[in-house]
């Protein structure tokens, strides 16, 4: 289905937004295919579709390109994760962060969250492309997607000067200042936590190697001292294997709870920053249009007035949507981080209890050997 075949008209999704799940990922060469399952609103079953990353880009392209929707540039678009790699390079791992760890589970969860956020959005869910993406058995967009004007718009060199433009609205100026601080802090927190996880994984690997190496100390023979030493080595090997499993679980818990939470928070802060920048660009356009009206000669003044009115209307629509989006985002980000922190604590507490029981058993065995 081509871009032209999808009309961005109002539609009601036929699925429950919170039922959307990315249940599996299939690897075929360098291509990853994601299986998406969602519950039908009619209650008569489920939709099962398979989508590649290019399909996700196709969907994002449609969401970004709704030029006829008033105020669309004030939307904080749910951030799509960077493209995954089958054989990830160090650079792509750094770019994906937590999403590059594990057996694709964190990445599937991130895509799942993206789809749920889109489907739950009051404006974006009306785009026909969302319904097509979630329910059509045919691949919707496996063609080259043109880069949209919103995607990383704030990185355009020629527009960077506008980022520091003084806002006429104190609410938005405060939000821009706040977002600038939060974006940096969240990114730093995610990077530091990723370092913790990477260290835990290294410790787990080292414990596994040491556990294996202890078996090399086992010696055959009837010598009581050698037999006693061998038993200690075997038991120590079991202890370090338990430490390896514990540290592996701790690292996985970190990734799948707080790690994903910090990753999502960081990407959403970037998405808000881009929205605020788009609005600032509209403000600059309006101010330029106002100056052009003041400077215009009588013969051109009427035309300049029309340009100014159009810019004013677009700026007002963008600002109105942006205020609603910021209020919604502030509540949603607190809830998302809260869920990540609670899940993190619950998972790590359960792992700690299981490990404590295991270590107590090891301790009893050692006491029996004394």
For the stretch 166-190, pLDDT in tens is 999 999 999 999 999 999 999 999 9
Q: Is the pLDDT of residue 260 over 90?
A: yes
Tell me how far CA of residue 299 lies from CA of 167, 292, 294, in angstroms. 32, 13, 13
- Report the Cα–Cα distance between both ends of the chain, in Å, rounded: 73
Average pLDDT of the chain, as a whole number: 88
CA distance 93 to 100: 5
DSSP of 6-27: S-------SB-GGG-EEEEEEE
Q: Average pLDDT, stretch 20-33?
A: 90
CB 150 within 8 Å of CB 272 = no
Q: When comparing pLDDT for 285 and 7, which is higher?
A: 285
- The answer to whether residue 247 scores a pLDDT higher than 60 is yes
Q: Which residues pair with 38 in a beta bridge?
A: 47
Radius of gyration of the chain measured on its C-alpha atoms: 27
CA angle (136 as vertex; 127, 268 as ends), nearest 5: 45
- Write the pLDDT tens digit of every residue in 291-322: 999 988 888 889 999 999 999 999 999 999 99
Sorted by sequence, the CB contacts under 8 Å of residue 348 that are 6+ apart come out as 250, 253, 254
Give burial (CB, 10 Å; 0-12/13-18/19+) of 308.
buried
Integer Cα distance of 128 and 150 in angstroms: 19
- pTM (predicted TM-score): 0.85
Residue scoring higher pLDDT (124 or 164): 124
Q: CB pairs under 8 A, 24+ apart, for 199-204?
A: 200/247, 200/250, 200/251, 200/254, 201/101, 201/247, 201/248, 201/251, 203/247, 204/244, 204/245, 204/247, 204/248, 204/251
From 133, 136, 85, select the one nearest 107 (Cα to Cα).
85
Confidence bin at 227 (pLDDT 50/70/90): confident
Q: What is the mean pLDDT of residues 234-244?
A: 94
Helix (H, G, I), strand (E, B) or coil at 151: coil
Q: What is the DSSP string of 106-138?
A: HHHHHHHHHHHHHHH-TTGGGSHHHHHHHH-SS
pLDDT at res. 87? 67
At 165, the pLDDT band (50, 70, 90 cuts) reads: confident
Please check whether residue 58 is in contact with residue 141, taking contact to mean a CB–CB distance below 8 angstroms: yes
Measured CA to CA, the distance from residue 202 to residue 195 in angstroms comes to 11
9: CB partners within 8 A, 6+ apart? 126, 128
Buried b (16+ CB within 10 A) or exposed e, 58-88: bbbbbbbbbeebebbbbbbbbbbbbebeeee
**Contact (CB, 8 A) for 241 and 208:** yes
Provide the sign of the torsion angle of the four alpha carbons 122, 124, 125, 128, taken in this order: positive
């Amino acid at each position: 289905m081509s871009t032209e075949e999808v009309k961005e008209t109002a539609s009601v999704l036929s699925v429950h937004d919170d039922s959307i799940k990315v249940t599996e990922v299939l690897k075929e060469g360098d291509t990853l295919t994601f299986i998406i399952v969602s519950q039908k609103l009619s209650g008569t079953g489920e939709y099962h579709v398979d989508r590649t990353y290019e399909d996700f880009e196709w969907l994002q392209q449609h969401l970004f390109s709704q030029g006829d929707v008033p105020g669309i540039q004030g939307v904080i678009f749910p951030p799509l994760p960077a493209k995954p790699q089958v054989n990830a390079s160090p650079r792509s791992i750094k770019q994906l962060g937590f999403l590059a760890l594990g057996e694709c589970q964190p990445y599937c969860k991130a895509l799942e969250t993206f789809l749920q956020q889109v489907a739950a959005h009051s404006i974006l869910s009306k785009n026909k492309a969302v319904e097509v993406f979630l329910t059509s058995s045919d691949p919707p967009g496996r063609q080259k997607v043109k880069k949209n004007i919103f995607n990383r718009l704030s990185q355009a060199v020629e527009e960077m000067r506008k980022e520091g433009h003084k806002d006429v609205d104190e609410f938005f100026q405060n939000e821009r200042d706040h977002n600038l601080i939060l974006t940096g802090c969240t990114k730093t927190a995610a990077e530091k936590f990723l370092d913790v996880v990477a260290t835990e994984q290294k410790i787990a690997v080292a414990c596994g190697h040491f556990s294996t190496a202890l078996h090399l100390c086992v010696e055959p023979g009837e010598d009581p001292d050698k037999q006693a030493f061998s038993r200690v080595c075997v038991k120590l090997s079991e202890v370090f294997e338990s430490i390896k499993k514990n540290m592996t679980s701790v690292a996985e818990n970190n990734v799948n709870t707080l790690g994903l939470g910090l990753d999502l928070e960081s990407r959403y802060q970037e998405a808000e920053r881009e929205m605020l920048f788009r609005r600032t660009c509209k403000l600059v356009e309006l101010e330029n249009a106002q100056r052009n009206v003041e400077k215009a000669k009588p013969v051109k003044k009427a035309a300049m007035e029309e340009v100014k009115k159009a810019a004013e209307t677009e700026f007002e629509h963008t600002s109105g949507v942006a205020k609603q989006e910021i209020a919604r985002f502030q509540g949603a980000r607190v809830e998302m981080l809260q869920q990540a922190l609670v899940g993190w604590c619950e998972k790590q507490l359960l792992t700690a209890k299981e490990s404590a029981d295991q270590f107590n058993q090891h301790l009893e065995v050692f006491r029996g050997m004394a």
